[in-house]
Amino acid sequence: MYLSAVAKQNSPEAAPYCIPNEWICGELGRFLRLPIPPVSIVSETSGGPFFASLDFNLAGDSLPPVNVAKCEQALPHLSAGLLIFDIWVANCDRHAENFSVDFLGAPPRMNIFDHSHALFGYSAEHGEARLIALRDRLGISWTTNNAVDSGQHRHCLLDAVNVDTHFSFWLNRISATPDFYIEEICKDARPYGLTPQETAAVVGFLKHRRDNLREIINNHRDEFSAITTWSLPS
C-alpha cells in the first residue's frame, strides 16, 4: 500500500515563507506530541524544493469545517494544545477548515495541518518585522489582514475554549523544548528561503515566547472570551 503526501512550495505572492513556516511549526508541533502528520522536505527532478506532509485523508473527500464548540467538548486537552501552540508560533490563519476532527472515531481523532502563514507570515521581506511586532503579543486575535500586524483570522478556538484547565500542561511542555532543538530546526529551514538574519530572528522569537508564554497569555486574558474563571498562575 502506498500513502500520498500533500506538497507545498514557496510562492512569492501568496506564501513566500511557506517552507520555513511549515517545516519549523511541523517539527515543533510533533515534538510536543500534537497530532501533526509526519513532515519532510523533498525535491522533484525538475526542481523544487517542496514541503511535504503525509496525507491523512485517505478517502480523498473534502474535509468539512470543524464544529469548534463540539471539538472543545470532545477534545478539550487537544483543543487547548492547538490553541497554545498557535499562540507560540503566532499562527494568524487557524480557521475551521485547516484542521480536522473525526468525531465518529473512538476516541475522536484530531489532525492539524497548514502553518504556512505562521511565524514569518505571508508577505515577502516582512518576515523579520512581523516577528518583532508580535514578540509579546498574542498573535492570533487580530483580523487586520496586515502582513506585519498579525493577520487574517481570529483563531477559531479562541472563543470556543472555555476553561484554562489544560493550559499549564501545554505551557510546561513548550517550556521544556530545548534550545538546541529550536536552533537546529530553524537552521534546517534556512536554505529554503531565509536570510541569516531572519534565521537568527526566528530562533530568538521562539525562545523568547517559549520562556514568556504564560505571561503573554495572562496579559491578554480578555481575548479568551469563553473563559470566565482562570486558574492559570500569573
Question: Per-residue pLDDT tens for 215-229?
Answer: 999 999 999 999 999
Position with higher pLDDT, 102 vs 7: 102
Give residue 104's Cα distance to chain centre: 25
Amino acid 173: pLDDT: 98
Which of the 8 DSSP states describes residue 64? Answer: P
Amino acid 12: pLDDT: 81
Distance CA 112, CA 184 (A): 23
- Angle, helices 76-88 vs 18-31, to 10°: value is 140
Contact 192, 20 (CB under 8 A): yes
- Domain limits of the chain? 5-55+63-223
Distance CA 56, CA 102 (A): 11
C-alpha cell at 229: 474563571
Instruction: Look at residue 24 and give its three-state secondary structure.
Output: helix
Amino acid 58: pLDDT: 55
Residue 230 has pLDDT above 90, yes or no: yes
Buried b (16+ CB within 10 A) or exposed e, 100-122: bbeeeeeeeebbbbbbbbbbbbb
Position with higher pLDDT, 141 vs 3: 141
Q: What percent of the chain lies above the pLDDT cut of 90?
A: 69
E strands of the chain, at which residues? 5-8, 39-44, 47-54, 99-102, 109-112
Amino acid 120: pLDDT: 95
Amino acid 208: pLDDT: 98
Instruction: Look at residue 3 and give its three-state secondary structure.
Output: coil
Q: Rounded mean pLDDT of the chain?
A: 90
Distances (CA, A) of 100 to 35, 82, 107, 109: 10, 12, 14, 8
Distance CA 71, CA 112 (A): 13
Give kind and range of the element (H or E) at residue 77. Answer: helix 76-88
Average the pLDDT over 44-66 and give the result. Answer: 75
Q: Which band of pLDDT confidence, cut at 50, 70 and 90, is reported for residue 57?
A: low
pLDDT, tens digit (0-9, with 9 covering 90-100), for 73-94: 999 999 999 999 999 999 988 9
Residue 146 has pLDDT above 80, yes or no: no
